[in-house]
Copies of this chain bind each other. A is one copy, B any other.
Amino acid sequence: MVPPGELSVPPRLLMGPGPITVDPRVLRAMSAQLVGQFDPFMTATMNETMALYREVFRTANEQTFLVDGTSRAGIEAALVSLLEPGDRVLVPVFGRFGALLTEIAARCGAEVHTVEVPWGEVVRAEAVEEAVVRVRPKLVAVVQGDTSTTMCQPLAELGEICRRHDVLLYCDATASLGGNPFETDAWGIDVVTAGLQKCLGGPSGSAPITLSPRAAALIEGRTHVEAGIRADDDADRGTRIASNYLDLAQIMEYWGPRRLNHHTEAATMLYAARECARLLVEEGLDAAVARHDLHGRAMLAGVGGLGLQVFGDVAHKMTNVVAVHIPDGVPGEGVREALLTDFGIEIGTSFGPLHGRVWRIGTMGFNARRDAVLTTLAALEQVLRSYGVRVTGGGGVGAAREVYAS
């Protein structure tokens, strides 16, 4: 074959629900050369990255590291390592990513129970506690920010409930971490996983994770064996974790002082994850959340200024993404295509019950910026006008500017 030419990526302003435009500092970090897997520099970089993510997760957990894969690999690593076949798990479901937790837990052989609410709402703590008492699960697994609905589930009370009933609490914070308040230790969350491609300003491909001492002990207690040696007779250690690649017991030994060889670390993604965390820690977690809050409010006001109706319970909206109803008579995909073709701007479509009904617009990571917000609103106004939508007054840009001025 004649090989294709050099990669020539078209410029895009990624204002969907993620992935988003990567911070150029992260891209530069990713162009650094490799060192060996157990080089002292590699070991030091892994340790630095662990310390950085303790800050990002707001935790003292020793077991804070990266899973080599996308955020979904982190979710599955947590669930397959925590859950044994037959274990009961309770999942509050308020969107697509809650449903994903139920599917992964079911594949782990767990008995899955749910507390469901309509899309656009969050789950009340009382409903979760009632279900915990009824189901008596080993684990409650919940998403913080579900981009499918833009809802941000309050977690502090869930942590209290889980401690009170001696239940483990796992949270998928992929879409919310770094742009919404998150307190692993203060909220009593045992295991948290994330990704780089949302508020952390990086690319998909690395999943930061943190585990409380009791979660780590539970996982370490499960049978794990050296390659090729069966340990079926070691019955009191629980069943073997069904995955080797996502076996957190082995991955903890790889990141821990024993440095036992597991997979070959994806060093470039480690470099990316380190730089994402370094950006956040330099800015300060509170400042980063405040920045996402500011630009999220500006975008919310802006879409209002364009006359668009916001979907869902705005009081529980994530800072970093807003869903708006596609106006009657306007072709949702036509607008997205015009934004991409004429302005190089991407906004999101949606899935499930919202498919074809809402657009999702993100303001996160590197793109939680005033110029990104105003440019997106200006372009969207032009495209809406071309479909006959009347925009009055200062429009989207004017409304967003008011937020910035206040």
Contacts and interface: CB of A to CB of B under 8 A. Distances in A.
Interface of A: 1, 3-4, 6-7, 9-12, 14, 16, 18-22, 27-37, 39, 41, 45, 48, 51-52, 55, 68-73, 75-76, 80, 93, 96, 99-100, 102-104, 106-108, 195, 197, 203-205, 225, 227-230, 240-246, 261-269, 271-272, 274-275, 277-278, 281-282, 340, 346, 351
Contacts of A104: 244-245
Contact of A11 (B3, B33, B274): B33
Given A1-B281, A34-B21, A266-B205, A242 B245 contact: no
Copies of this chain in the oligomer: 2
Nearest to A41: B10
A243 B272 CA distance: 26
B9 A36 contact: no
B195 A264 contact: yes
B205 A68 contact: yes
Contacts of A75: 245
A33 to B, nearest CB: 5
A203 to B, nearest CB: 4
Contact of A3 (B36, B70, B240, B278): B278
Contacts of A45: 7
A266 B204 contact: yes
Contacts of A281: 1, 3
11 contacts: A11-B33, A18-B264, A21-B33, A22-B33, A68-B73, A68-B205, A69-B266, A70-B264, A71-B264, A72-B245, A205-B268
